[in-house]
Structure 1
Amino acid sequence: MDIDLATLAYLAGSSANDAILRRLHEIGHDGVRVSHGFVVQHLIEGEPTVSELGDLLGVTQQAASKQLLELERLGYVARVPDRVDSRVRRARLTDRGRRLVEDSRRIRRELDVHGGDAAKRALIRLLDATGGTEKVLKRQVAPSD
């Protein structure tokens, strides 16, 4: 195959994400989309408001609200009162949301076995070379258009 590295990395990543999503759907996580993962990442260790989530994702408050509403309807997220100011609502993963995270991580580990360490190292070098590592580490990667 004569494909440049950037295109090949994109295509391989898209194919891997599609495979992960299919597997999640097969085990009962119907309705979950790749874009939901970007939201869930910010709920693993925090409970942001809609406005804070929008800032974290680099999207409007309306776009963040839409994503949260979808995840709420699927049972992965609940909006709860702030501990200090009960007028403020925060997004929190439900038990089902935590299971989604666990299942996704398990499936990704299984996929890593097929990808191999050499491929992973090459993609990390590419990420470093293109200046993307810091964004990934800070969970500042947003879904692409």
Structure 2
Amino acid sequence: MHIKILDVKNIQDEIKVKFETSIGTGAGTWNGELPTLGDCTDIEIDIDDNFDWGKNIITSNKDTCMIAIENNLFRFVAQVISYEDDGCLTIKLGDSIIFLDVDNVPSAIEGWIEGKAKSIRLYPTNL
């Protein structure tokens, strides 16, 4: 995913960044060398949270990818690619493919989902 760095803070030995993309604005923990304010770079997003269907992830009636920060949570709308019986939900968020571990998913999940996560990790790909 291509992002522009809007803000950089070092909080308790973690680099926190606010960023914008073509699908919205987000914030997360940066894993790599300290980015520069205004930098444009490609990243991989890791949404590492405990997802439980019906609580912090649901079916969406929206059909466009988006990200936002709401009430200090990373909110996203993404397209479902596949779901495996082991709880792995594969989604497409913008141009990124992301794997989520989700409990209690309905057996026939398809279309679009909305989720809320406490935190995300960003990994620069140096592409």
Give the shorter-chain TM-score range. under 0.3
More strand by share: 2
Higher helix share: 1
Compute the TM-score of the two structures, normalised by the length of structure 1.
Answer: 0.23
Q: Give the number of the structure whose alpha-carbon radius of gyration is greater.
A: 1
- Where relative contact order (Cα < 8 A, 6+ residues apart) is larger, the structure is 2
